Structures are given as structure tokens and as C-alpha cells.
Structure 1
Amino acid sequence: MVLNAAAILGADDVETKPVDIPQWGGEVLVRGLTGIERDAYEASIQQVRPKPDGGREVVFVRDNARAKLLVKCLVDENGHRLFKDTDAPALGKKSGAILDKLYDVAAELSGMGEAVEKEIEGNSEAAPSGDSSSSSPESSDALSQSSDDASAPES
């Protein structure tokens, strides 16, 4: 069967998976990213840096990368985000082992993982040499807020 645009746009294709976290006293729902959210997340963990030869390279910025993904992927029973993007520093202070466990689930549900990380790290010629812009994690966080932030709790 060949799908039309309405069938594609109407499909509920973003998966959610419960993960038991006994240290936190229960289950956490992890939702995969939408395409827009994934692009924003990937942009927030990349930085364009100058090379000694005058060119530019794109590097993977690991600074709080797990929490930056998880604030986009942890949801309540109705699928609404639990956190805003700006909550990543606070979430990043939780157990590294737990964040790693949840990150792995979120990355898998979002079609990401080691292959994407290697692609980002290996993409050193992605920025044109005339591009002087830099995507720092701090400024990208504000720009990459998804429309789901509206459903995140105010704090």
C-alpha cells in the first residue's frame, strides 16, 4: 500500500518506553525525539571551531549531553515533557549511571547512538570555510527550544 501525505502525517510513530529507576522510586517514561527535536538536540551538542589551517571543523561537545537529550525525552503519562531545555543543568547533577541508562534508551528510540556520535565527530569539513558562526551549547539551548516547551512545567 502506498501512503499519502495525510497517512504519513497522521501516523503516531514516536515511541515511548517505560524504564524502571528504583533509585528514584518508580518508572520513568522515555519518548523518542521527533525530527525537529533531534535536529535541535544535535545542533546543541555541536560546535564549529577554527582549524590551524584556516578551515573549520565541527566537534561534538559532550558538556552535559546526556541531560540535554533527556530533558527533551522524559515525559508524563500524557506525553508532555517533564522538563524544559533550561532544566538540563539541574538534571545533569543526578546520578551519571542513571542518566546513562536513560540516555541509551532515549538515543535508541530516537534513532541515535554511537553511529551518530561518530558521524558528528567525523564531520570535520561540514562548515564552509567562510562561515564564521559558532554554535555554542549555551546559545543553542535557547534557540533549540521545541514547541513542546510550552507543555513543560513552569518553574
Structure 2
Amino acid sequence: MALLSRDAILTVDDRRTEDVAVPEWGGTVRVRSLTGKERDAFEASLVDKKTGQASKLANARARMVAMTVVDERGNRMFSLDDISALGDKSAAALNRVFDVARRLCGMSDDDLAELVEDFGGSGDQSEPSTSD
């Protein structure tokens, strides 16, 4: 097997998509994997900038959904301004889409817990963030 070249790596379209049935919403959504930059931004969004702790887990599922649901052309359907409204949707529906997004992004079941531990946070969600 030949080693990949720089150009081969940088030009390959390695993002995956998967269509997910969401009966609570009456249809199907397309979920696209995050880039490395986007995953880092998602993880950074969980960290309180003042304390350095991963304590902003409120609406984490809605945030991931906003970052990964795309239309037929591959454009994001939601902006970060939509996170709060998405957070008001069915937990079962959000979790179904979140689980697919997490899998497509290579995020294991333990990654969020590990993130909280790495930053020394408790993951306490008792104080919801108002600055999604």
C-alpha cells in the first residue's frame, strides 16, 4: 500500500453524512460529520472561559444538532442562535440525532465525560447557560 501524499490528504472529501428518521419531527434530517476545527469548537463551547471548567453542558445536544444538521446541498440548517429553540425540542429526537452526529464525528460515549475530567469540571447543569 502506497503512502498518501499531502495533496491526496488535503483534497479528499472525508466528511460523512447519514440520514436520520425523526418521527417526532415528522420526517428525516441529514447529519454531517464535523471537521476537526468544528469538533474543537464544539468541545471549547462546553468550557466556561472564566473558570476553565467544562461546566457548560446545558444544551450540548442541541448545540451538536445545530452544528451537524445540513440541507440537501450540505449547508447547515441551523445557526448557533437556534440552540436554545432546539433545546426546547423533544429530548428523544435530539438524542437520536446527537447519537448519529457523535458517531460520525468519532466521539465515543466516554468523550464528554473525559472532557469534563480533563478540565476538572463537574459537568453541573444546575445553572443553565444563557449565552449559547
Scaled by the length of structure 1, what TM-score is found? 0.72
Residues 51-92 of structure 1: CA distance to partner in whole angstroms, max 9, x if unpaired? xxxxxx622421111011110100011111001111111111
RMSD: 2.1
Overall identity of the aligned pairs, in % = 42
Indicate the residue corresponding to 2:107 in structure 1.
112
Residues 15 and 34 in structure 2, CA contact (< 8 A), matched pair in contact too: yes
1:5 and 2:23 aligned = no
Q: Residues 87 and 61 of structure 1: is their aligned pair in 2 closer, same or farther, counting only changes over 3 Å?
A: same
Q: 1:10 to 1:76 in 2, by over 3 A?
A: same
| Kept after mapping to 2: 8 A contact 1:59/1:120 | yes
User: Quick check: which has more Rg, 1 or 2?
Assistant: 1
Determine the C-alpha separation between the residues in 2 that align with 1:64 and 1:31: 19
Contact 1:60 1:117 in 2 (8 A): no
Q: How far off is 1:113 after superposition? A: 3.1
Aligned length: 124
Which residue number in structure 1 is paired with residue 20 of structure 2?
A: 19
Query: Match of 2:53, SS?
Result: strand
By how many angstroms is 1:119 displaced?
1.7
Change (3 A) 1:109 1:88: same
1:90 aligned residue? 85
Where do 4+ consecutive residues of structure 1 move more than 6 Å?
none
CA contact (8 A) 1:46 1:120 kept: no
Question: Could you tell me which residue of structure 1 aligns to residue 70 of structure 2?
Answer: 75
Cα displacement (A) at 1:48: 5.2
Q: What residue ranges of structure 1 are gaps of 5+ in the alignment?
A: 51-56, 126-135, 142-155
- Report how far residue 137 of structure 1 moved: 7.7
By how many angstroms is 1:24 displaced? 1.6
Q: Does 1:39 align with 2:23?
A: no
Q: CA deviation at 1:110?
A: 0.7
Which structure has more strand as a fraction of its residues?
1
Q: Which amino acid aligns with 2:30?
A: L
Give 1:15 deviation, angstroms: 0.7
Gaps of at least 5 residues in structure 2 are 121-128
Q: Do the aligned partners of 1:73 and 1:81 also contact (CA within 8 Å) in 2? A: yes
TM (norm. structure 2) is 0.84
Counterpart of 2:105, as a letter, is S
